[in-house]
Amino acid sequence: MSTAVDIAGPSSPDQGTTSCAKIPNEPLRRSLKRSSHPYTLSQYISTPSAPAPVDVSSLLQSSSALHHHHHHHQHQAGPPSKPRRAPCWPDMWESPSGLHLAHAAELLMRAGLLALNPSAEQAALVQPGGQPEEEEDALMGCGTEFQPFLGAWFPFSPALFPLAAGFQMGGAAHWRSAAAAVAAAAAAGAGEGMEGKRKRCGECVPCRRQRNCDQCSSCRNRKRGHQICKYRKCEELKRKPGGPGFDSRVPGFDLRGSEFTLGLAQERAHAALDG
């Protein structure tokens, strides 16, 4: 008998889904709603999977193709501006503003593993190939980047687990990226508010993703959006300078990899040595 939970949420859209039982569409308790999270728990659970295997790409195609679009002019004359698209399931599994579901699950489960067996945490961090991984889009066939725990993801909702938000950050990478930006600005003789661009930390979970999901809004809109895949957007860069907690952090949980297990860190080291 398979005791594994069948509700397997994908860690990202590029993974297959398994089927699960439909769950009555019951509204989320108001006390749990937390701000304006657009989806109910049952939506989280029922949406990514369907009774029959569903072709994701066709699903996505139809979602944009079927909608009769009242075209809005985007202060832009010639080129056809894309009709604004309603969020679809990848967006549901990974809300850009909140703690990502898959990450939340991963972090929570790692935290559990860490408490039970510290060495398991190490194992969880090791890539199957064991390589320090090529940094940029080396299209290697590394299918799964986040291994499911006991074969299944749990549909943790950030709305239901606000505590998980405390797990996501830690460390001082933002010090580096922000400080580097300031230093660059200073070197360029810039005043306040003229900092250079920050750089991704290269250490957080999104930074360590190797491939674009090709399904999030950033991926779909890459040509004109010029944004990195949402699944790869650095956690540090998501925090705005001057935002709450930018200079502080939640102590205790630094789940990121070590400096030298990561490509960008090595790249930095080389750059530093090179001068």
Residues that bind Zn ion (CB under 5 A): 200-201, 204, 207, 212-213, 216, 219, 229, 234
Q: Are 126 and 34 in contact (CB under 8 A)?
A: no
Listed in sequence order, the residues at least 6 apart from 50 whose beta carbon sits closer than 8 Å to its beta carbon are: 19
Which residue type is seen at 121? E
Q: Which of 52, 226, 244, 275 binds DNA (CB under 7 A)?
A: 226
Q: In whole angstroms, how close is the CB of 138 to DNA at the nearest point?
A: 12
Name the H helices within the chain: 30-33, 41-46, 56-65, 89-93, 101-116, 118-125, 165-168, 173-187, 217-220, 222-225, 235-238, 263-274
Query: Closer CB to Zn ion, residue 34 or residue 176?
Result: 176
Query: Closer CB to DNA, residue 56 or residue 234?
Result: 234
Instruction: Please count the CA atoms within 13 angstroms of the CA of 164 that sit on its side-chain side.
Output: 20
- Residue 176, contacted partner among Zn ion, DNA, none, CB below 5-8 A by kind: none
Instruction: Report the interhelical angle of 118-125 vs 101-116 (nearest 10°).
Output: 140
Query: Closer CB to DNA, residue 55 or residue 267?
Result: 267
Tracing tokens 């650095």 back to the chain, one arrives at 234
Tokens of 32: 């749990």
Q: C-alpha angle 151/153/159, rounded to 5°?
A: 165
Tokens of 193: 């508010």
Q: Which of 2, 3, 31, 76 binds DNA (CB under 7 A)?
A: 76
Q: In whole angstroms, how close is the CB of 138 to Zn ion at the nearest point?
A: 17
Q: In whole angstroms, how close is the CB of 81 to DNA at the nearest point?
A: 3
Site for DNA contains 134 (CB under 7 A) = no
DSSP structure class, residue 149: B
- Residue 242, contacted partner among DNA, Zn ion, none, CB below 5-8 A by kind: none
Site for DNA contains 234 (CB under 7 A) = yes
Site for DNA contains 110 (CB under 7 A) = no
SS3 152: strand
Site for DNA contains 221 (CB under 7 A) = yes
Residue 121 burial (C-beta neighbours within 10 Å; 0-12, 13-18, 19+): middle
Query: Closer CB to DNA, residue 48 or residue 98?
Result: 98
Please report, in angstroms and rounded to a whole number, the separation of the first and last CA atoms in the chain.
Answer: 60
Q: What mask, x for binding DNA by CB under 7 A, covers residues 160 to 199?
A: ---------------------x--x---x-------xxxx
Binding site for DNA (CB under 7 A): 35-36, 72, 74-76, 79, 81-85, 87, 91, 95-98, 136, 181, 184, 188, 196-200, 217, 220-221, 224-228, 230, 232-234, 237, 267
